[in-house]
Amino acid sequence: MRDWLWRERVGAVALALAAGGLLAYALLWASPYGLRVLTVAGVYALASFGFQIIFGLGGALSLAQGAFFGLGAYVTGILGSRYGFDASVTFPLSLLAPLLVALPVGLAVLRLDSHYFALATLGVAQVLHLLVVNLPDLTGGANGVPGVPPFALFGWSAPRGLPTTALVWGMVAVGGLIGWRVARGRLGRSLALVRDDPMAAACLGLDVGRLRLTAFVLSALYAGAAGALAVHTQRVVSPEVLEFPVMVTILTIAVVGGRGRMVGALLGALLLIHLPEWFRGLERSYLIVYGAALLLVILLAPMGLTGLWARLFPPPGRPLPDPVEPPARPARNGERLRAEGVTKDFGGVRALDGVSLRLEAGVIVGLIGPNGSGKTTLINALSGLERVDSGRLWIDGRTMTNARPDRIARAGLARSFQAAILPDDATALEAVAAARLPLDRRVEWAEAHARWALERLGVGALADRLCHGLPAALRRRVELARALARRPSVLLLDEPAAGLTDAEKAELAALLRALAADGMALLVVEHDMEFLLPLADRVLCLDRGRRLYDGAPDGVRRDAGVIAAYLGGVGA
């Protein structure tokens, strides 16, 4: 514990020293030109904080960050220069304008795949650029708007030099702190989960669309603020602020600094904006040296400067929270899930053909059938990952037919996948805590509940181990702990015993029985009859998407239809 505190403090001390050094440079050594460059670095750091939220944490390559920057700059430029408004009007409006563009654009394009999303956001930048060039009465066209006043608020105005630098870096400090809290808090953690695997995130109850939209809007606010400050610094705004180099600079800052980290944005901005100045003396060869220096940084630190720092000085393992049992859903007997007449076609293939199913509290239902009989499709349909063509679904009496996976998850359903999906660079505790983010208001509570789930599955000792490199059996346990942490009323498991030793299977069976005894309704897809038949209370067998058998486990081996379609094949 003491070691952890000490090492945590080392990071804070390093940051304080760097801030002190920067302050000393600004106050004592920097020339007026040096202060200008420092101010521009601050402006880019602010825009990059926002980019870290949408790109670094959310994993969405938005190429609109430069456009939002330019929009903020134009709003301040036009209102300040033409109408004489001070920052009390121009600054909020420079945030509002990107927000008003980001909302509809985000709603329209955030569901696209990454490269289409990147192209769509690039389109936003192109449209804005065309608009400013072709609306000369408003924007000054290709010449832009000159004579933008300095940042002024309630009669005080920031003259060039130190006051402007201090103002910008004050905003950088506030913006960085907010961004840091976002990254460490529920939003940042949820976004990282969405970035790593949107499907798994949705099945844990996270509203992927809303999270991405929030990140996009936040990124636009940061860019708008940075654009407003940029135009006060340069005192002129022209279409250049909407051109691609601004976007490329922001992207390079994030990549060089380290994706998703606010300190990375800060370091990246300071480095990227100062590098050309340091190499300017080289005259014509400056671009070559600048490019080579960048390449070197990327080669030596592919995870960015902050990634390199973390590799050289690995962050201390945090003390684990004490386990706390999460509140259970109200106990209910009887039916928890009902599906009726579920039909699903994939092109010409009928994967499910009018399947009906009931899952009850305390009852384990085994789902069997030959390969391609529709078992996974049924689990996907029940958990909202596949839309059904016809049929109906209820969970705890509430209709959930074709509801989104996150809604179904919040209604009380949890599931596992054939191959456990866990984020590689998260610890087991973080991976499980992610499942509690939609339920717990604070990350600390989510972690305490996650610790309980890990202990319950007998893998408490793995809490601070990275998911990457965990053996398959342990990954399954952690995934199950993640499902359990949400205290679901219905649990769907897709081949949970695959790859386990006999001893591990016996442990798993005991655990599943204990969960059923707690009142959970379970559906277990398995090919391993030795494991499933003694475990299940009822067995449903599918064949070519149709129900072939639904009854007691001991009747399965005697059923002629099941033997012909399936058991003959698996040699049971």
Strand, helix or coil at 178?
helix
CA dihedral 410, 460, 313, 446 (to 10 degrees): 30
* Residue 88 exposure: Cα atoms within 13 Å on the Cβ side: 5
CB of 526 to ligand ATP, least distance (A): 10
Min CB(570)–ligand ATP separation in Å:
11
- Cβ atoms within 10 A of the Cβ of 510, count? 10
> How many of the other CB atoms lie within 10 Å of CB of 572?
16
CB of 386 to ligand ATP, least distance (A): 8
Q: Which two tokens stand for residue 536?
A: 């299940």
Q: How far is CA 221 from CA 40, 293, 348, in A?
A: 18, 31, 47
* Least gap, CB of 369 to ligand ATP (angstroms): 5
State in angstroms the smallest separation of the CB of 104 from ligand ATP: 31
CB of 352 vs ligand ATP, minimal distance in Å? 8
3-state secondary structure of 492: strand
User: Among the candidate windows 215-223, 277-285, 333-341, 374-382, which touches ligand ATP by CB under 6 A?
Assistant: 374-382
Q: Pick one of 369, 384, 423, 496: the residue that binds ligand ATP (CB under 6 A).
A: 369
Pairing of strands 490-494, 413-415: parallel
In this complex, which beta carbon is closest to ligand ATP, that of residue 232 or of residue 375? 375
Give CA angle at 25 (23, 26), nearest 5°: 65
Q: Report the nearest approach of ligand ATP to the CB of residue 548 (Å).
A: 12
Between 54 and 342, CB nearer to ligand ATP = 342
List the interface residues with ligand ATP, window 163-222 (CB under 6 A): none
Interface segment toward ligand ATP; rule CB under 6 A; list 23-31, 257-265, 371-379, 503-511: 371-379
Rounded to the nearest whole angstrom, what is the least distance from the CB of residue 524 to ligand ATP in the complex?
Answer: 13
With CB under 6 A as the rule, give the number of residues binding ligand ATP: 11
Nearer to ligand ATP, 157 or 402 (CB): 402
Tell me the helix, strand and coil percentages in the chain, rounded to 5: 60, 10, 25
Q: Which of 137, 159, 371, 517 binds ligand ATP (CB under 6 A)?
A: 371
Nearer to ligand ATP, 329 or 546 (CB): 546
- The residue among 290, 297, 72, 261 whose CA lies nearest residue 182 is 261
Taking the complex as a whole, the smallest distance from the CB of residue 498 to ligand ATP amounts, in Å, to 10
Which of these segments, 15-23, 343-351, 395-403, 505-513, binds ligand ATP (CB under 6 A)? 343-351
278 binds ligand ATP (CB under 6 A): no
Query: Which of 90, 306, 373, 427 touches ligand ATP by CB under 6 A?
Result: 373
- For 403-424, letters b (16+ CB in 10 Å) and e give bbbbbbbbbbbbbbbeebbbbe
Asked if 348 touches ligand ATP (CB under 6 A), the answer is: no
Closest CA to 377 of 404, 407, 401, 350: 350
**DSSP letter assigned to residue 240:** G
Query: Buried b vs exposed e over 544-562: b needs ≥16 C-beta within 10 Å?
Result: bbbbbbbeebeebeebeeb
Comparing CB distances to ligand ATP, the nearer of 155 and 347 is 347
Instruction: Give Cα separations from 237 to 33, 92, 139, 484, 561 (angstroms).
Output: 19, 18, 9, 55, 77
CB distance 76 to 228 below 8 Å: yes
Residue with smaller CB distance to ligand ATP, 351 or 450: 351
Choose the stretch contacting ligand ATP; rule: CB under 6 A; options: 198-206, 322-330, 370-378, 462-470. Answer: 370-378
Shortest CB 377 distance to ligand ATP, Å: 3
346 is a contact residue toward ligand ATP (CB under 6 A): yes
Binding status of residue 570 toward ligand ATP by CB under 6 A: no
Residue with smaller CB distance to ligand ATP, 207 or 495: 495
Q: State CA 498 to chain mean position distance.
A: 29
Q: Which amino acid, 392?
A: R
Question: Is residue 256 within 8 Å of residue 268, measured between CB atoms?
Answer: yes
* List 129, 375, 475, 477, residue binding ligand ATP (CB under 6 A): 375
Please name which of 224, 262, 266 lies closest in space to residue 241, comparing C-alpha atoms. 224
Q: Is 372 in the site for ligand ATP (CB under 6 A)?
A: yes
Per-residue contact string for residues 376-405; x = within reach of ligand ATP by CB under 6 A: xx----------------------------
Q: Is the dihedral of CA 465, 467, 468, 474 positive or negative?
A: positive
Site string for ligand ATP, 419-458 (x = CB under 6 A): ----------------------------------------
| Segment near ligand ATP (CB under 6 A); pick from 290-298, 375-383, 428-436, 469-477 | 375-383
Whole-number Cα distances in Å, 149 to 90, 164, 551: 11, 12, 80
Which residues sit at the interface with ligand ATP, rule CB under 6 A? 346, 349, 351, 369, 371-377
